[in-house]
Every structure is written in structure tokens, then in C-alpha cells.
Structure 1
Amino acid sequence: MNKEILKLAVPNIVSNITVPLLGLIDLALMGHLGSEVYIGAISLGGVIFNFIYWGFGFLRMSTSGFTAQAFGEKNRQESITILIRALLVSASISLLILMLQAPIAWASFKIIGGSDEVETLANEYFRIRVWAAPAALSLFVFNGWFLGMQNARFPMIIAISVNIVNILFSVLFVFGLNMKSAGVALGTALSQYVGLAIAVTLLFKKYKYLLPEISKQGVLNIKILLNFFKVNSDIFIRSFCIILVFTFFTSKSASIDDTILAVNSLLIQLLLFFSFFIDGFAFAGEAMVGKYVGAKEPANLKKVVRLLFVWGIGLAAMFTLIYAPGTNIILNLLTSQTDVIQSAQPFLFWVILIPFTSFASFIWDGIYIGATASKAMRNTLIASTFLVFTPAYFLLNSLLGNHALWLGMILFMLSRGVIQTFLYKKAILKPLA
């Protein structure tokens, strides 16, 4: 079973690492155009799409969980019908985004702000890249479906291909055609459609035998659709709470001063970096837990949960050993500003606490998604956000300042793992029994 976990986890880790790599390359391209406004433009535009796509990330998660369960049941018809159902939902959401792109852009720039020149370029970036929404959301569905079918290799192939094509297009448009920030937007949009074409090709290559099993009645089954939307709405609320906490963290960092904003922005990257690795095992949990829930095999379910936590503890230990002596080295790689590095010193111990206080929340998320125990996930995030993070910050802010923000973040991640540990039997094992 450990081999199966690694077979699913490693490709997902590779896929996760490609995401920040592309962002860094886009910033590097803009950094060589002679003006900081281009960096600001794609940063501002990127924030909007992060909000949109993070919010609709439930398309990948729910598709993964439902598909894994159908795979475990050996229900071929439902396996392929889930894909069609989720693609129809993603197409509907994409159409809505395209129809509402003007008010979305207006509201986003009102909230985020920026200089007139940056906002003009960011608006151009947004208006080009938004046309990739149908492909981007469809890729969420395909990646979730492939993972649910116990195939992490195809999402890795898609992710690597999309990033390579994106880089090639962006270089061509930015430097070859002198399109600047608009070139990055067009490169990103076109690469998403190339990724979608690859996903469809891979589907026909390996899963063509399932296509005749598609059921029109199954796609439009009201009872199944209602359950699909219920799970998706729960996951959306869960994702919204996470977005709220991280946005609040950044906003309050900025309200202290620019130096603390820089410090917190750099240090939070170490949480995100850890998440790229631990999420690989969480994604493996989605696929395998869903399979055993569908197959109604509680013994194997318990075994995979136990092994996922063994891997999680091992990964947390490894990152703690890296962060404890090496955080200053990492900081010096990320910035050359001595005042930022100096100001970060009192807060470095929070980084050392990240792996062991957060790994359980990531692992449990994968397990709960695989079991489609969305109500428990939703309630956990509501409690962790409004009963842990929020009071921790507001009660201690006047005494601890920036330490209150970090304490709130650490308790937020820790409480998610603790609450889901207590809910495990009731939310997952009891329904299976």
C-alpha cells in the first residue's frame, strides 16, 4: 500500500511544484522590461485569478472524491458520467465568468487598488486571460477525474506540458512581438487550451472504452445533481474560509508597515512550500480513501489513513530539520534587503512550528475529500476561522502585535487537524459501517 501511496503522491508533488515556478518565470520576464509597472500589472491580475480559481477549486476536489468512490464500486457508468456532469457544471460557471467579466474586473480593482498605470495594464491582462476560464475550469475537472481513477501521472503530464507551452508562448509574445504584460496573459490563456487538448487526448487514449457507458439520464439525475451541488457548496465555503484567513493575514500585515508586510509575505512562502509536498500525500489520500469508501472496505480505509499520517509525520520532521537551522539561509536567497532579514528574526520560530502544526490539516483534507465528507470539512473551517483564528488575533493583537497574526495562523492550521481528528469516526467510519 505504501508503493500505491507514493505512486500517487510523487507525481502530484511534481505537479504542485510547477505552479510557483511558472509565476516566478512570468515575474522574471516582466522584470526585464525596464519598468516595475509590468510586474505590478501581472501581480495584480494574478491575484484576481487566484481568487476566482481558488474559489472554484471545488470542481477538482468533488470530482476526485466522487470518481474515486465510483472506481472503488467498479461502477464504470457512474465513473464516466461524473466527468460529463462536472464538465457541464464547469462550462456553466465559465460562461457566467465571461458574461460578468466587466463587473468582476471593476469590483476587483476597486478592492485591490493600484496606480492608474498599473491598473490599466492589469485590466488589459485580465481581459485577455479571462477567456481561458473554460479551459482552466475544465482542467480542474479532468485533473480531479484522473486522480479519482487512481491516475496521478496524467495530471503531472498536463501540468508540465502547460507550463512549458506557457513559457514558450510568453517569451514569444513578450520579446518576439513586444506585447509586454499582455503577452504573458495571452501565453497563459493559450497554454490552458493546449492543456485541455492534451487532457482530452489522454482521455481518449486510455479511457475510450468508458465513453459508450455515458448515461444521459445519469448526467441529469436530479438526486445525484443535488448531492453534487451540496458537496460542492460545502467545499466552496471551506475554500472561502481559507481565502479569508490568508487575505486577512496579508491585509493586517500591510496595516502594520511595509517591512512587516515584506517579512510576513516571505515567511508565509515557507508554509506554501511545505504545502506543495504534503498536498501530494493529501491528493493520494483523496484517490485511495475514495476508492476504499466506494468498495466498502473499512479495514483498508483505516490502513491507508494510518499510513498517510506516518508519511505526514515523516515529512513534517524533515521540513522541521530544514527550517530550524536553515530559515535564515532561505531568507537570504529570497531577498537581499538586510532590514527585512533583520526584522524577520523575532518571527522565525513560527516558521519552525509550521510543519508539525499543519501537516494533519492537509492530510485530513485529502481524506475527507475522498470520502466526500464535505459537511464536516465545512464546519471544521468555519470553527477554525471564526472560533480560533479570529479571536486569537483580536484578543492578543494589542499585546503581541505581529506575533498575534502568526499565533492565529498556527492555531488555525492546528485546530483544523485536531477538529477533523475528533470528527473522523462520526463523519467517515460511521457512514461506511
Structure 2
Amino acid sequence: MNRDILRLAIPNIVSNITVPLLGLVDLALMGHLGSEIYIGAIALGGVIFNFIYWGFGFLRMSTSGFAAQAFGEKNISETVTILVRALAVALFTGLIILALQVPIVWVSFEVIGGSEEVETLARQYFLIRVWAAPAALAQFVFSGWFLGMQNARYPMIIAISANVANILLSVLFVFGLNMKSDGVALGTALSQYIGMALAIILFLKKYRNLLFYLRLQNVFDLKRLSAFFRVNGDIFIRSFCIILVFTFFTSKSASSNDTILAVNSLLIQLLLFFSFFIDGFAFAGEALVGKFIGAKQKNHLLKVVKLLFIWGTGLALLFTLFYFAGVNFILHLLTSQEEVLQKAQPFLVWVILVPLASFGSFIWDGIYIGATASRAMRNTLLASTFLFFAPVYYFLHPVWENHALWLAMSLFMFARGIIQTFLFKKAISLKIRSGADRKN
């Protein structure tokens, strides 16, 4: 079982690590063009896509859970039906985004703001990159489906290939064709279609025989479509709560002063860095929990949950020690601003504690996604956001100021893990006894 966990976790960790590398390359390209407006342009444009794609991340999660359960049931027809159904939704959603691109960009810049020059370039960046929306959403679906089929190598290959293509194309357009932020946008858009094409090729290479079991009437079966959209709706609300919390965190940091914004922006990167590793085990949980629920193997389910938490605890302790010993060294690598480094010192304790406070929420998310226990996930995030994060911040901020913001974030992550621990038996463990009903 440990071998299965690592077989699924390690490729996902590698995939996750490629994401910040791409962002650093884009910033480096823009940072050598002689003006900060190009950095601002891709930063603002990137914020809009982060909202869109993070919001539609449910397509990957639900596809992973449904596919893993069908795989565990050995229901070949349903595995391929899930893929086609999710792809249809992804492509339709991508076309809607394309149709609404002008209103989306208008509303976004009304909310975000920015100087006129930066906004003009960011708008251009968005209107080029948005044409890759169908491909980006299709990649979400393929990655989730491959993972549900217990195949973590293909998502890793797709992610690395698409990101390498993105870097090479962006360098070509910026330095070879003298383009600016529009070159980065075009490179990103083309790379997402390359990723989608590679996903199709890999699917046909290994899974083309599944197409013989596809029944188009099952793709649009009302009962299963209803379950699909209900689960996706719950996960969307869950994702929206996370977006809301992190956006609020950044907004309140900015409203303090520029130094606190810089401090919090740097320190939150350490939480995100930890998430790249712990998410690998969460993804392994999605695949294995879904498979065991589909196969109605309760003992295996309980064993994999136990092992996932052993791995998660060990990783959290390792990162806690790493941050305790080296957080100042890491900060010096990220910035040379002495004022920022000094101002960060009182808040380093939160960075040291955050792996232990948050690992449970990541592991449980993977378990709940694999079980498609979306209602429990939704309720957990609503409770963590509005009963823990918001009250703690508003009650303590007048006294603790930025410490209150970090305490609220830490309790938000910790509460998610605790609530899902209490809900596990009802939301997941009993599903096998009741026939592993994928409707939740």
C-alpha cells in the first residue's frame, strides 16, 4: 500500500514543482525588458486566470473521484463515459468563457484596478491567453481522469511537457520576435493546446480500447448528469471559499502598509511551497480512496487513510523542522530588503507552525474528493471560513493586527482538518456499507 501511495504521490509532487518554475521564468523574461509595467501586466492578467481556473478546478477533482470509483468497480463503460461527459462540460465552459471574454476583462479590471499603461498591456495579455480556455479546462479533465485510473505518470508528463513548451515559446516570442507581455500570453496559450494534444495522444496510446465501451446515451444520462453537476457545484463552493480567504488575506495585508504586504506575500509562499509536497499525497488519496470505495473494500479504505496521515504527519514535521532551522535563510534568498526582513521576524512563528496546522486539511481534501463526498467538503469550508477565519480576524485584529490575520489563516486550515475528521465516518466510511453510492 505504501508503494501505491508513493507511486501516485511522487509524480504529482514533481508536477506541482513545475508550476512556480514557469511563473519565475515569465517574471524573469518581463524583468529584462527595461520597464516594470510588463511585470505588472502579466501579474494582473495572471490574477484573472487564477480566479477562472482555480474556480473551475472542480472539473479535475470530480473527474478524479468519479473515475477512481468506476475503476474500483471495474465498470469499464462508466470510466470512459465519465471522461467524455467531463470533457463535454469543459469544452462547453471554455466556449462560454470565450464568448464572455470582453465582459470578464471589463469587470476584472474594474475590481483590480492598476495604472492605465499596465491595464492596457494586461488587457492585451488576457485577450490573447483566454483563447486557450477550452484547452486548459480539457487538461484539467484529462489529469483528473488519468489520476482516477491510478495513472499519475501521464499528468506529470503532460504538466512538464506543457510547461517546458511554454517556457521555450515565451523565450522565442519575447527575445526572438521582440514581443513583450503579449509574447508570454501567446506562448502560454499555445502550450496549453500542446498539453491538450499530448493528453489526447497519451489517452489513445493506452486507453483507446475503452472507446468501444462508450455509449453516447449514457454520457447525457440525466441521473448521472445531475450527480455530476451537484458534486461539481459543491466543490465550486468549496473552492470559492478558499479563493475568498486567500484574496481577503492579500487585501488586508495590502491595507496595512506596503511592508506588511511584502512580508505576508513572502511568508505565504512558504505555505504554498509546503502544499506542493503535501498535495502529492492528497492526490494519491483521491485515486486510492475512490478505487477502494468503488470496489467496496472498507478495510483497504481505512488502511490507506491511516497511511496517508502517517505520511502527512511525517512530511509536516519535516517541513516544521526545515522552516524552524532555515526560514531566515529562505527569506534572504527571496529578498534583500532589510526592512522587510526585520519586519518579518515576529511573524515567523506562524510559518513554522503552518505545516502542522494545515497538513490534515490537505490530506482530508484528497480523501473526500476520492469519495466524491462533496457536500461534507462544502460544509467544512463554509464553517471554516465563516465560523473560524472571519470571526477570529475581526475580533482580534484591533489588538493583534497582523498576528490576527495569521492566526485566522492558521485556524482556517486547522479547522478544516478537524471538522473533516469528525465527518469522516458519516460522509465516507459508511458509504461502502450503503453500496458506495457515488451521489454522496
Q: TM-score category by the smaller chain?
A: over 0.9
Aligned to 2:430: 430
Is residue 19 of structure 1 aligned with residue 14 of structure 2?
A: no
Equivalences for 1:54-133 in 2 at 5 Å?
54-133=54-133
* SS of 1:372 mapped into structure 2: coil
Aligned to 1:361: 361
Is residue 288 of structure 1 aligned with residue 296 of structure 2?
A: no
Structure 1 runs (4+) deviating above 3 angstroms are none
Aligned to 1:248: 248
Is residue 399 of structure 1 aligned with residue 399 of structure 2?
A: yes
Preserved CA contact (<8 Å) 2:60 2:143: yes
* Offset of residue 430 of structure 1: 1.4
Preserved CA contact (<8 Å) 2:94 2:137: yes
* Offset of residue 273 of structure 1: 0.2
Partners of 1:124 and 1:231 in 2: how far apart? 35
Partners of 2:32 and 2:104 in 1: how far apart? 30
Partners of 1:155 and 1:431 in 2: how far apart? 28
Aligned to 2:437: none
* SS of 1:150 mapped into structure 2: coil
Deviations 1:95-153 (CA, angstroms, capped at 9, x unpaired): 11001000100010111110000000000000000000000000000000000000000
* Offset of residue 325 of structure 1: 1.5
Equivalences for 1:167-178 in 2 at 5 Å?
167-178=167-178
Amino acid at match of 1:325: A
Partners of 1:226 and 1:113 in 2: how far apart? 38
Partners of 1:312 and 1:195 in 2: how far apart? 30
Amino acid at match of 2:150: Q
Deviations 1:187-222 (CA, angstroms, capped at 9, x unpaired): 000000001110000000000110111111110100
* SS of 2:33 mapped into structure 1: coil
Partners of 1:220 and 1:206 in 2: how far apart? 25
Deviations 1:390-431 (CA, angstroms, capped at 9, x unpaired): 000000000000000000000000000000000000000112
* Offset of residue 184 of structure 1: 0.1
How well do the aligned residues superpose, as a CA RMSD in angstroms?
0.4
* Offset of residue 224 of structure 1: 0.2
TM-score (norm 1): 1.00
Is residue 221 of structure 1 aligned with residue 221 of structure 2?
A: yes
Aligned to 2:436: none
Partners of 1:252 and 1:119 in 2: how far apart? 22
Preserved CA contact (<8 Å) 2:293 2:431: no
Unaligned runs of 5+ in 1: none
* SS of 1:67 mapped into structure 2: helix
Deviations 1:268-309 (CA, angstroms, capped at 9, x unpaired): 000000000000000000000000000000000000000000
Unaligned runs of 5+ in 2: 434-440
Preserved CA contact (<8 Å) 2:238 2:378: yes
Deviations 1:136-179 (CA, angstroms, capped at 9, x unpaired): 00000000000000000000000110011111100010011111
Partners of 1:194 and 1:325 in 2: how far apart? 41
Deviations 1:374-405 (CA, angstroms, capped at 9, x unpaired): 00000000000000000000000000000000
Partners of 1:215 and 1:338 in 2: how far apart? 64
Amino acid at match of 2:235: I
Aligned to 1:43: 43
Deviations 1:40-99 (CA, angstroms, capped at 9, x unpaired): 000000000000000000000000000000000000000000000000000111111001
Partners of 1:178 and 1:288 in 2: how far apart? 48
Partners of 1:345 and 1:333 in 2: how far apart? 15
Partners of 2:117 and 2:251 in 1: how far apart? 22
**Identity %, equivalent residues:** 73
Aligned to 1:275: 275
Amino acid at match of 1:379: N
Partners of 2:335 and 2:103 in 1: how far apart? 37
Preserved CA contact (<8 Å) 2:238 2:381: yes
Partners of 2:189 and 2:34 in 1: how far apart? 24
Partners of 1:183 and 1:122 in 2: how far apart? 12
Aligned to 1:342: 342
